[in-house]
């Protein structure tokens, strides 16, 4: 269905040139960002999201009516070993390295794995929440993964001054069916002010996030780059479309920028030249 051929050097260099020439970059990431970290795409996975009963249980209504039944199902879907053991891949690390070069990188992600933050990006906005966090819906006390994993149904352990236990079943931080995505307005504003929008590893099929690249398309000075294995409806408006694995493409482009900065190549946007002082 899609090509597994390696992305050509000229294409990587074009991406590197666009990144190099941009100071304010908005990144939108989806499941394809984390594929190389061993995390499956639920939507294209033959398993979980094909189970209608399980899908219905991942809703705010189900959580409110059946909190004690909700949590074991939620853990089955989201707190799986491949999620809990996942580490940032070369693509996550490359985005963090770009920020380390002094560029403003704002990452808006549909992923709930938290890997952009682990990689070191400091401006990460998790549109669908984070699977490693939970909060009490009554007293709003936040909880971390260890507490969530400690019992089948995690509850609030906060006590008031008289020693009365709150004890309410927690809400996961992950956005459930029936809840709005987060940071959407912030994403619109960030895109309007950006030089470049990178869309990585998402096929742009789920609204409203799928509409975000339109804000870049409407702003003529915002260049749009799409890296995804499959076509998206925005491809025809993009400055550059790359069919490839996100981790490979992004890490190769950032490696190219590092080489250029070291003087191995003098200009990333020009034709590739032989190294003068290869190190
Ligand atoms: Zn509480």
Does position 149 have pLDDT exceeding 80, yes or no?
yes
Mean pLDDT across the stretch 35-58? 75
Mean pLDDT across the stretch 212-227? 90
Q: How far is it, in rounded angstroms, from Cα 81 to Cα 24? A: 36
Does position 43 have pLDDT exceeding 80, yes or no?
no
Q: How far is it, in rounded angstroms, from Cα 255 to Cα 144? A: 35
Does position 28 have pLDDT exceeding 80, yes or no?
yes
Structural domains in the chain, CATH included, are: 1-39+87-130+181-279 (3.40.50.1220), 43-85+133-172 (3.30.1600.10)
Highest mean pLDDT pick, 3-17, 31-45, 177-191, 262-276: 177-191
Does position 278 have pLDDT exceeding 60, yes or no?
no
Q: Could you tell me which residues come within 8 angstroms of residue 43 by beta carbon, excluding any fewer than 6 positions away?
A: 31, 49, 205, 206
Structure tokens at 41: 């795409």
CA torsion angle for 107, 113, 116, 118 (degrees, to 10)?
150
Between the CA of 276 and the centroid of ligand 1 the distance, in Å, is 64
Between the CA of 125 and the centroid of ligand 1 the distance, in Å, is 25
DSSP state of 274: -
Between the CA of 143 and the centroid of ligand 1 the distance, in Å, is 10
Q: pLDDT at position 49, please?
A: 63
Put simply, whether the predicted model's pTM sits higher than 0.85 gets the answer yes
- The share of the chain scoring above pLDDT 70, in percent, equals 90
Between the CA of 54 and the centroid of ligand 1 the distance, in Å, is 27
Highest mean pLDDT pick, 79-88, 164-173, 208-217: 164-173
128 catalytically annotated: yes
Q: How far is it, in rounded angstroms, from Cα 196 to Cα 9? A: 21
- The share of the chain scoring above pLDDT 90, in percent, equals 72
Task: Give 187-204 pLDDT, tens digit per residue.
Answer: 999 999 999 999 999 999
Mean pLDDT across the stretch 9-38? 95
* Residue 152 pLDDT grade (very low, low, confident, very high; cuts 50, 70, 90): very high
**Which stretches of 182-273 are assigned E, i.e. beta strand?**
196-200, 223-227, 240-242
Q: pLDDT at position 167, please?
A: 96
Q: pLDDT at position 76, please?
A: 87
Q: Which of 76, 92, 116, 128 is catalytic?
A: 128
Q: pLDDT at position 19, please?
A: 97
């Amino acid at each position: 269905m899609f090509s597994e051929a390696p992305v050509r050097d000229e294409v990587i260099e074009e991406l590197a040139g666009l990144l190099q020439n941009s100071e304010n970059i908005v990144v939108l990431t989806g499941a394809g960002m984390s594929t190389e970290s061993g995390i499956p795409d639920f939507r294209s996975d033959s398993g979980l999201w094909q189970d209608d009963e399980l899908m219905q249980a991942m809703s705010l209504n189900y959580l409110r009516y059946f909190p004690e039944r909700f949590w074991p199902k939620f853990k089955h879907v989201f707190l799986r070993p491949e999620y809990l053991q996942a580490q940032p891949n070369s693509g996550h690390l490359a985005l963090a390295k770009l920020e380390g070069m002094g560029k403003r990188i704002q990452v808006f992600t549909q992923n709930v794995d938290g890997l952009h933050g682990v990689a070191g990006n400091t401006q990460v906005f998790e549109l669908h929440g984070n699977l490693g966090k939970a909060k009490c819906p009554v007293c709003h006390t936040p909880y971390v993964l260890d507490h969530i994993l400690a019992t089948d149904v995690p509850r609030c352990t906060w006590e008031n001054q008289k020693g009365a236990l709150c004890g309410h079943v927690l809400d996961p931080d992950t956005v459930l069916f029936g809840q709005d995505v987060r940071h959407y307005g912030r994403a619109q504003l960030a895109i309007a002010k950006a030089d470049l929008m990178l869309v990585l590893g998402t096929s742009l099929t789920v609204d409203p996030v799928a509409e975000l690249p339109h804000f870049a398309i409407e702003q003529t000075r915002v260049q749009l780059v799409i890296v995804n294995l499959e076509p998206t409806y925005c491809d025809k408006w993009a400055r550059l479309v790359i069919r490839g694995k996100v981790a490979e493409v992004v890490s190769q482009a950032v490696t190219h920028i590092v080489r250029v900065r070291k003087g191995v190549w003098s200009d990333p946007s020009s034709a590739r030249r032989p190294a003068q002082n290869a190190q």
